[in-house]
Amino acid sequence: MNLYEELKESLKKKIQKHNLSGQNISVKCKALSATEAIGKPEHDDYPIIKGKEIMVEAVFKGARGQAFTDEFENTDYIIDDLLQIKLNSNKRKASFISGLNAVYRYLYLCDKTIHCKDTEPKLCANNLIDVIGPRNNVFLVGYQPRFLEVLVSQYNVRVVDLDQDNIGSDVSGVVIEPPEMTSEAIEWSDFIFATGSTIVNGSITNFLNKNKPVLFYGVTISAAATILNLERFCYCGH
């Protein structure tokens, strides 16, 4: 059973257990604007503000689940449809993951499925060192500017990002590397701090079972972290 099949199987059991199947309930997926998703933070260098990422939000019986992605679909799904979605594109994975987050949030099986806003991203970053603890080499997967600023104050840091506009840039004294450097950076590191959106783009498997501690961050991976027993950091999520 692959990772996504495991997520679907867990969702299927919850649908059956709580008698949600067949009900006329939709998971409504829509893309949020940058202001809706992250408010008006002090800095304007976040990927969603720069238009490099999109926040998809699913609503299930009033419970909201979000997921970062690079592509999306505006659509409605009956809850049973989530079990049948062919996860062969990032936009379908984003719909499934945001829907999974919304259903699990409704059932009180996960929390912090809604992104923090305004001054909260900086507050979140300021609590990062206490969570990571004493390390030497930290591998940041996915460029997040506030996290990088904090990490370089304490650790040796390497960053890999998918955004071509970021790759090669020197930020806080660290040159952002392309995804092709992932394996080398994992080998170099003694701690991996990875964006939860890897569950949407499928790269999450690169960071599992590597005999290195891995901490995933953000709202996207909320339900999946619960199901797959992954460590997660989301200090100011809602």
CATH at 155: 3.40.50.11590
Q: Is residue 76 one of the residues assigned to a domain?
A: yes
Q: Is residue 115 one of the residues assigned to a domain?
A: no
Cα first-last separation, the chain = 31
> How many whole angstroms separate alpha carbon 130 and alpha carbon 70?
31
22 and 62 housed in the same domain: yes
83 and 150 housed in the same domain: no
> How many whole angstroms separate alpha carbon 115 and alpha carbon 76?
21
Q: How many separate domains does the chain show?
A: 2
**Residues near 229 by beta carbon (within 8 Å), at least 6 away in sequence:** none
Predicted pLDDT at 52: 53
Range of the domain at 80: 3-106
139 and 212 housed in the same domain: yes
Strands (E) located in the chain? 26-32, 54-60, 63-69, 75-78, 137-141, 156-160, 170-171, 174-177, 191-195, 214-217, 232-233
Of 45-49, 88-92, 112-116, 227-231, which one has max mean pLDDT?
A: 227-231
Domain edge (last residue) among 106, 129, 144: 106
| Tokens, residue 216 | 């995933």
Domain edge (last residue) among 49, 72, 106: 106
Q: Is residue 219 one of the residues assigned to a domain?
A: yes
17 and 66 housed in the same domain: yes
Of 191, 202, 192, 200, which is closest to residue 222 (Cα–Cα)?
Answer: 200
Q: Is residue 113 one of the residues assigned to a domain?
A: no
Q: Is residue 114 one of the residues assigned to a domain?
A: no
67 and 158 housed in the same domain: no
Strand pairing report for 174-177 and 191-195: unpaired
**Residues near 210 by beta carbon (within 8 Å), at least 6 away in sequence:** 186, 192
63 and 156 housed in the same domain: no
Q: Is residue 238 one of the residues assigned to a domain?
A: no
pLDDT in tens, 61-85: 999 999 988 887 878 888 899 999 9
Total-model pTM: 0.88
Domain edge (last residue) among 106, 139, 155: 106
83 and 169 housed in the same domain: no
65 and 42 housed in the same domain: yes
Which of these ranges, 50-64, 156-170, 207-221, has the smallest mean pLDDT?
50-64
23 and 87 housed in the same domain: yes
Burial class (CB in 10 A: 0-12, 13-18, 19+), 88: exposed
Residue type, 223: A
Residues facing residue 139 across a β-bridge: 158, 192
Which of these ranges, 93-107, 110-124, 128-142, has the smallest mean pLDDT?
110-124
163 and 215 housed in the same domain: yes
| Order of all β-strands in the sheet with 232-233 | 170-171, 174-177, 156-160, 137-141, 191-195, 214-217, 232-233
The b-or-e profile of 34-67 (16+ CB within 10 A means b, else e) is beebbeebeeeebbbbeebbbbbbbbbeebbbbb
Q: Give the mean model confidence (pLDDT) for residues 198-225.
A: 95
